[in-house]
Every structure is written in C-alpha cells, then in structure tokens.
Structure 1
Amino acid sequence: MAQMIGFLAAILGTICWVPQAWKAWATRDTSGLSLASNLMFLSTVVLWLTYGLMIGDAPLIAANVCATTAMVIIVAAKLRFG
C-alpha cells in the first residue's frame, strides 16, 4: 500500500511539470519563467533522484527521473529562448 501511494505521488508530482515543459518548448515563450528558480528545482530533483538510487526506492526513482527530464527541458527552453 505504501508503495502504491508513493507511485501515485510520483505520477502527480511529475505530470504537473509536463504542461509547463510542453508550453515552454512549443511557444518558445519563457519570459514568465525564472531561470534561477528552475535551476534550483532541477538541482533538487537531481538530488532526490540520487537519494532514491542510493536507497533503491522505485517510486522516488521513477518520479525524479521524470521530473529531471521535464526540468531539463524547461531549463533548456529558458536558456535557448530567453
């Protein structure tokens, strides 16, 4: 049961960033995004991913692989499109 809750949290916590990543890349409009904030969040999810790998926690790993991917797209869009 705990792992199911973990996976649900992973899914919800991850998909919330997909529309932002999609919109930033599709519209090439990142004027409303803070590079500093997104870099800090990217660092956070990379650290959580590292921690998840260290303890072998599947929901934590899955969530942070997806979140890292979305955040890399957002940061890349911000760097590329300003």
Structure 2
Amino acid sequence: MELYVGYIAAFLGTVCWLPQAWKAWASRDTSGLSLPSNLLFLLTVTLWFCYGLMVGDMPIIIANICAILIVISIVAAKLRYK
C-alpha cells in the first residue's frame, strides 16, 4: 500500500509543474516566474533525487528525474524569454 501512495504522490507532485512549463514555452512570457525560486526548486528536486538513489526508493527517483527535467525546461524558458 505504501508503494502506491508513493507513486501517486510522485505522479501528482511532478505533473503539477507541467502546466507551468507548457505555458512558459507556449506564451514565451516568463515575466511572472521567479528565476531564483525555480533554481532553488531545481536544487531541491536534485537533492531529493540523490536521496532516492541513496535509499533505493523508486517513486522518489522517478518523480525527481521527471521534476528535474520539467524544472530545467522552466528555467531554460525563463533564461531564453527574459
């Protein structure tokens, strides 16, 4: 049961960033996005990914790989469309 809760939490926590990434790239308007905040979140999910690797927890690993990719996309849009 705990595994299912982990995968559901991982899925929801990752998917919630997709609309932001989509909007940033589609509209090319990133004025409402904070670069420091997104960089800090990128550091956070990177550390969670490292933790997941250390403890061998697949929901944490998978969720944070996806989150890293999505947040990198948001940061790239912010840098590109200043």
Count of matched residue positions in the alignment of Structure 1 and Structure 2? 82
SS at match of 1:13: helix
Identify the residue that residue 22 of structure 1 maps to in structure 2. 22
Identify the residue that residue 52 of structure 1 maps to in structure 2. 52
RMSD between superposed Cα atoms in Å:
0.5
Identify the residue that residue 41 of structure 1 maps to in structure 2. 41
Cα shift at 1:54? 1.1
TM-score normalised to structure 1 length: 0.98
Cα shift at 1:44? 0.2
Amino acid at match of 2:43: S
Matched, 1:32 2:52: no
Question: Percent identity at matched positions?
Answer: 65
Cα shift at 1:26? 1.1
TM-score normalised to structure 2 length: 0.98
Distance in structure 2 (CA, Å) of the matches to 1:47 and 1:67: 12
Q: Deviations over 1:29-76 (max 9, x none)?
A: 000000000000000000000110111100000110111111000000
Structure 1 gap ranges (5+): none
Distance in structure 1 (CA, Å) of the matches to 2:22 and 2:66: 14
Amino acid at match of 2:23: K
Task: Write out the 4+ residue segments of structure 1 that deviate beyond 4 Å after TM superposition.
Answer: none
Structure 2 gap ranges (5+): none
SS at match of 1:29: coil
Distance in structure 2 (CA, Å) of the matches to 1:53 and 1:29: 35
